[in-house]
Structure 1
Amino acid sequence: MGSDYEVLRGYVIGSGSDSNQQKAPEGQVRLEITHSVLSDDTLGANNYKNFHLNLTVKEFKEKLYRFVGTEPKYMTLVIREQNKITEIKKLDDEEKTLEQYQIQDGLNVHIIDNDPNNYISELQDTSKVEKATMTDEEYNKREGTYKKWIEEQQKSNTNTSTATTATTSTPEVTIKVGDRCQVTSDDPNNYDIRLGTVSYSGTTEFSSGHWIGVTLDLPLGKNDGSVKGKRYFECSPKYGCFVKPSNVIVGDFPEEEI
């Protein structure tokens, strides 16, 4: 039986089988990344990544280096089952590709850090790092900040929605199921952007008006496509969210990749 932490983590981000439902595009493989020094908390909820199957192990290590910071020469890569316990194989031939190793969606790639200088451990000790600070007043005076960009996008969406309402009693929603999109927040202090795919567009039983249901790329949502017992679309737990059309920006947004 797993620890209380593992049970809680499984509940929050979903089990390995849930993550497996988020299939990688053709020619790629979706893997969970873990590290012998970095904890799951440090890696965050986005430790599922897509990789091209034609990557050699050497190239694969370079990709992982950008994510975890361990130099490729100090890496030992172990492929494990979704339970992160059962070892399948070591990737010890740097010229072989992931496809030649027959790597499949949903497996766990565990990085063993052999750095004799314990570089990653030193990086995790933030007590010695001087923190950069900036007051809200100083930040608000700066031009081209992410906050101002979000405010401009929300203002633009609001103006568009108001203009449409003025000309017709039923605003037209042009967002379609299958559209790639970016989801923003109504909270002016929340600047996080979530990417996903539109999975539902229409009215709902939980609230009046038109709603957009989105299957997110990462487990940053609140549901599995159902609300209060009513199902509107299918997705893994924590990968679904419902937002107003004004909070959705449609565009050619590729799924996050290292």
Structure 2
Amino acid sequence: MSLVTLFVSSLDTRSERRFDLQLPISQLKGKLEPITGIPVGNQQLAIYNNDADIQPTRVLDDDQRPLGFYSPADFQVLKVVDTNPSATFTGQLTDLSGVEKFELSDEQYAVRQDSVLAYKQRHKVGRFAEKTEPTPPPTIGVNIPIGSRCEVESTEPGLHKRGTVRFVGPTDFGGTGGMWVGVEYDEPMGKNDGSVQGKRYFTCAPKFGVFVRPDKVMVGDFPVEDPFADEEM
């Protein structure tokens, strides 16, 4: 059996169907009647390449010919036109011109108590939800005395980033708030001179200052390292 897949299109319907190419046009119309609602005697059939085409490639005007006689190709459009729409319901199901529309002005809608708007207002949903101020992050006590010697955590093995604590407290940078520790390094391994974004928190030479979170700082007896201690004499 040789089959072809076509888009069946009428004023009220559109569907994808498969048909036997040996099917006579008279029998094809019988299959199309329950699909389109158009009686067999009122059907006018034509093949189009697509829905946008104005001119058909074939007009199926001989009921005795098989469908294959008109050489339809897969996914072409088989349009079914009702030649006597006044005797059927063709087009009436999709014609909304005679349907009375229910319309409300914005003012009328706003005073109704059975609307979605009223529901949202009663239950404080969406834009009617109560506005809450963001909760600031809790201030955590930090026992890092200013002036104490410290070592900052390093991801590089064997690198000791030692210095002196010069600042402990909140800052205007960082976004998430919380406490920061300002350290003056013993060597120029830092990022600033104790100021960030134009605000000064402590003073040191450029590239000697850094700000880190308290959990990255270890306070203790960390003497200044001699960079030449390991060199042979």
Q: Answer with 1 or 2: which has the greater Rg.
A: 2
TM-score w.r.t. length of structure 1 = 0.34
> Higher helix share goes to which structure?
1
TM-score w.r.t. length of structure 2 = 0.37
Structure with the bigger RCO (C-alpha within 8 Å, sep 6+) is 1
